[in-house]
């Protein structure tokens, strides 16, 4: 931060540290052993797609890169009701004994860095790693690109059409549990509800 910025009370926005995504496998062990929440094997990156061929070509390149890997995941690109694009990466359901959550995190990292390297970093909003337990509870660990922090989003299970209610108790439990492992967003006003997010 420059001298003038410090005098005027301005601060630069926190830069994204995409390598923080690689801390999710460790956090996943904590969630499983403490709360019984297991990764679903899915993940997604949310962004506001730009108009024009440059963005479309970049998105295609990113998808083709993921599909070219050994054991390539299923890729699905959708647009939600708010106009945001979700690039979903679907691995087989996570089994701690046989699968590696690190592969999913590597894929999400590749999507983010691919868009960022092409100059579309400002379009990136968040990355999502969903979890679930045997009782039907669902949780998303959401990485906010512009803040460089994570927050928990837990929609209540068993809601009918149009039912949108959060399990705030679970969100607070997860926040407190993961503070030692992940950069947790401390401002709850940034814990956005991502209704309709894929795999959640």
Residue 177 belongs to some domain of the structure: yes
In a domain, 80, yes or no: yes
Position 199 scores a pLDDT of 78
* pLDDT value, residue 11: 46
What does the chain come to in residues?
200
Q: Is the pTM of this model over 0.85?
A: yes
- The total of structural domains in the chain comes to 1
Report yes or no on 200 lying in a domain. Answer: no
Which residues on neighbouring strands pair with residue 107, listed in sequence order?
Answer: none
Residues 178 and 30: beta-carbon distance below 8 Å: yes
CA–CA distance, 54 with 33 (Å, rounded to integer): 44
| 5 within some domain | no
Amino acid 70: pLDDT: 73
Q: Is residue 197 part of a domain?
A: no
What are the φ and ψ backbone dihedral angles of 126, each rounded to 5 degrees? -160, 165
User: 32-60 b/e with 16+ CB inside 10 Å = b?
Assistant: beebebbbbbbbbbbbebbeeeebeebbe
| Residue 195 in domain | no
Calpha distance 37→80 (Å, rounded): 26
Per-residue pLDDT of the chain (200 residues; tens, 9 = 90+): 444 444 545 444 445 688 999 999 999 999 999 999 999 999 999 999 998 899 999 999 999 999 987 778 899 999 998 899 999 999 877 565 455 788 999 999 999 999 999 999 999 999 999 999 999 899 999 999 999 999 999 999 765 445 689 999 999 999 999 999 999 999 999 999 999 898 78
**Integer Cα distance of 117 and 120 in angstroms:** 7
Q: What is the pLDDT of residue 189?
A: 93
Residue 150, number of CB atoms within 10 A of its CB: 26
**Could you tell me which residues come within 8 angstroms of residue 11 by beta carbon, excluding any fewer than 6 positions away?**
1, 5
Q: State residue 94's pLDDT score.
A: 59
pLDDT of residue 12: 46
Q: Are 33 and 26 in contact (CB under 8 A)?
A: no
Please indicate, yes or no, if residue 7 is contained in any of the structural domains. Answer: no
Residue 99 lies in a domain: yes
CA dihedral 93, 96, 97, 98 (to 10 degrees): 40
What are the phi and psi torsion angles at 16 (to 5°)? -65, 135
Domain that holds residue 63: 14-190
Q: What is the pLDDT of residue 3?
A: 43
Q: Who's near 41: CB < 8 A, 6+ residues apart?
A: 90, 91, 92, 93, 94, 99, 104
């Amino acid at each position: 931060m420059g001298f003038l910025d410090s005098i005027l009370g301005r601060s630069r926005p926190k830069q994204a540290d995409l390598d923080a995504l690689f801390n999710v496998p460790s956090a996943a062990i904590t969630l499983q052993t403490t709360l019984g929440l297991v990764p679903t094997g899915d993940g997604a990156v949310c962004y506001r797609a730009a108009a024009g061929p440059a963005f479309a070509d970049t998105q295609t390149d990113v998808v083709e890169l993921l599909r070219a890997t050994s054991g390539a995941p299923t890729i699905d690109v959708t647009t939600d009701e708010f106009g945001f694009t979700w690039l979903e990466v679907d691995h087989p359901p996570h089994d701690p004994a046989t699968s590696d959550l690190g592969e999913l995190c590597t894929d999400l990292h590749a999507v983010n860095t691919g868009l960022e390297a092409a100059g579309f970093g400002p379009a990136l909003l968040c990355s999502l790693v969903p979890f679930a337990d045997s009782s039907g509870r669902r949780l998303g660990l959401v990485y906010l690109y512009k803040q460089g922090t994570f927050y928990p989003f837990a929609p209540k299970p068993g809601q009918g059409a149009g039912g949108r209610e959060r399990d705030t108790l679970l969100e607070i439990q997860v926040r407190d549990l993961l503070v030692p492992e992940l950069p947790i967003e401390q401002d709850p006003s940034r814990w956005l509800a991502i209704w309709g997010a894929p795999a959640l």
